[in-house]
Amino acid sequence: MIRQRWRRRAAGLAVVALVSGGLAVGSAGLSAADDGELLRESTASEECANADAIAGTGDNFEANCLTESEVAEIEESVGAAGILPAGETASSPNISLVTNLPKEGPFAPTNALNSDLAFQGKYVFAGNYNGFTVYNIENPRKPVQVAQVLCPGSQNDISVYGDLLFLSTDSRWSDDSCSAQGPYNVPDTAALPDYWEGMKIFDISDVRNPQYVSAVETKCGSHTHTLVPGEESVYIYVSSYGPDSRLTDCQPPHDKISIIDVPLDDPEAAHVAAEPVLFPDAANQGRNTAGCHDITAYPHLGLAAGACMGDGIVMDITDPLNPVILDQVRDANFAFWHSATFNNDGTSIIFTDELGGGSGPTCNPTIGPNRGANAIYTWDGASLEFASYYKIPREQANTENCVAHNGSLIPVPGKDIFVQAWYQGGISVFDFTDPYNPTEIAWFDRGTWDDAGTIAGAWSTYYYNGYIYSNEIQRGFDVFDLRDKRVAPAKGVRYDEFNVQTQPVY
């Protein structure tokens, strides 16, 4: 009975996806195309006095310091006068915060970080390190919490498909239940060789009372995941990283992803169907591709774009269980390849650099405009070519964690417009229709979080059916109204279902 209901609802749903954005400054990236040359020389980086201090703030950091004249130029163009004190907000005149719902219950503590968002009909599903919350957004200006599910398991990256909800667990627990003991750090797992991490599946046919269905263990857990719809199944590309020889199920080199097959007629039978090694010769090429952080699928084009540690990649996914890399790119300014999103035509891709892992204050003149930013690449069907960088032009305080993070396309036909979260840098909306000249058109920012040094700010910021929704790590669930003639056509676009990493055509 339940199995047939899953099939009917999944078959008729339209799915949506989104991406990231700021200040446009050029510096060429590096591409490896079909000629098989998967490694090209990085441009030499100039050493500077604070290189040691910058290095170590993010994974795989490559020093690329600015000269004194470059720092002076940035300070002149950006300046420090706009830094907001705690408790204050500022924005461009075309965007307004219409409501905020603070975190509550077991999700209220500062260590219970709000994370990703997924959408279906009149509901938003909001991840949190302690589980997930369901909001009714039938009236976007007055959202109502309708359910809260306690199920710890950082980071609880979330997606929905029909009557199914998927939740990523990227930490080690005693078992796959929502009441498991943990999380366990690496040394502790020696005494717990049968620890669990991976993907959890819930039934949301009664959205007010989600029910746990099953779980699938995956190598190195599941940091993020991506849905790739099929005829009989929905496939889940699991991105994970951080191999360690002390971990039973996360052995080096881990140059792979896990692909879960979820039969729509029998979701309890979900299982790992493939573990394709994407980088079989990475070690010999001197590449640090020990897994992927995030993948965005574009089923309409049979493509996926991925952020895989030291590389940005484009894959052919016409055979979902056998993805094939078409091109790889490296960028001397990127420390941690975080995510990727196509424009609607599939001719440009935004890659994001999460310098400092989301915990560092990278929106300042010392770091500059080319690091902790977005890199926009053009895609001609065969190779990636660097076009420009975009980073928010507002300097943030050195107590504010700020870097490029999760965002989405705003569905304006004929335009490429992106809304993006920047942690404590707030949110930014920019137009990259000309990939060589991205331009900010709207922004919102809060002053520093009261508890200096605590991770805060916008984790995920997405456009859905007329409004912008944002999951703020500490302050809760935000709804914004963007009123601008450049995005007015998007107000008429409606989706039944929207997952950031499964990109639709509009």
Does 347 have pLDDT greater than 80? yes
DSSP string, 47-70: --TTHHHHTTSSTT----PPPHHH
Q: What is the pLDDT of residue 450?
A: 83
Q: What average pLDDT does this structure show over 367-389? A: 97
Does 42 have pLDDT greater than 50? no
Kindly report, residue by residue over 183-226, the tens digit of the pLDDT: 999 888 777 778 999 999 999 999 999 999 999 999 999 999 99
Q: What is the pLDDT of residue 190?
A: 74
Q: Report residue 115 as tokens.
A: 């994370």
Does 52 have pLDDT greater than 90? no
Confidence band of 68 (pLDDT split at 50, 70, 90):
low
Q: What average pLDDT does this structure show over 439-452? A: 93
Kindly report, residue by residue over 84-98, the tens digit of the pLDDT: 998 899 999 999 999
Radius of gyration in angstroms for the set of CA atoms belonging to the chain, rounded to a whole number:
21
Backbone conformation region of residue 191, classed left if phi is above 0, alpha if psi is from -120 to 50, else beta? alpha
Does 66 have pLDDT greater than 70? no
Q: What is the pLDDT of residue 310?
A: 84
Q: What is the pLDDT of residue 11?
A: 34
Backbone conformation region of residue 336, classed left if phi is above 0, alpha if psi is from -120 to 50, else beta? beta
Q: What is the pLDDT of residue 193?
A: 79
Q: What is the pLDDT of residue 283?
A: 55
Q: What average pLDDT does this structure show over 438-452? A: 93
Does 101 have pLDDT greater than 90? yes
The single residue listed with the structure tokens 């400092």 is 356
Q: What average pLDDT does this structure show over 111-127? A: 98
Q: Which of residues 411 and 74 earns the better pLDDT score?
A: 411
Q: What is the pLDDT of residue 69?
A: 56
Q: pTM of this prediction? A: 0.85
Mean pLDDT of the chain: 85
Q: What is the pLDDT of residue 339?
A: 96
**DSSP designation for 371:** S
Does 333 have pLDDT greater than 90? yes
Which residues, including other chains, have CB under 8 Å from residue 191's CB and lie 6 or more apart?
none
**DSSP designation for 320:** T
Confidence band of 383 (pLDDT split at 50, 70, 90):
very high
Does 159 have pLDDT greater than 90? yes
Q: What pairs with residue 123 in β-bridges?
A: 120, 136
Q: Look up the CATH number of domain 2-499.
A: 2.130.10.10
Contact 83, 359 (CB under 8 A): no
Contact 209, 229 (CB under 8 A): no
Least confident span in 76-85, 267-276, 364-373, 374-383: 76-85
Kindly report, residue by residue over 280-318, the tens digit of the pLDDT: 876 556 566 789 999 999 999 999 999 998 899 999 999
Top mean-pLDDT range of 30-44, 62-76, 322-336 = 322-336
Q: What is the pLDDT of residue 261?
A: 98
Single out the residue of 392, 400, 398, 394 nearest to residue 450, CA to CA.
400
Q: Which of residues 116 and 6 earns the better pLDDT score?
A: 116
Q: Report residue 127 as tokens.
A: 């991840």
Q: What average pLDDT does this structure show over 47-72? A: 36
Q: Report residue 203 as tokens.
A: 């039934």
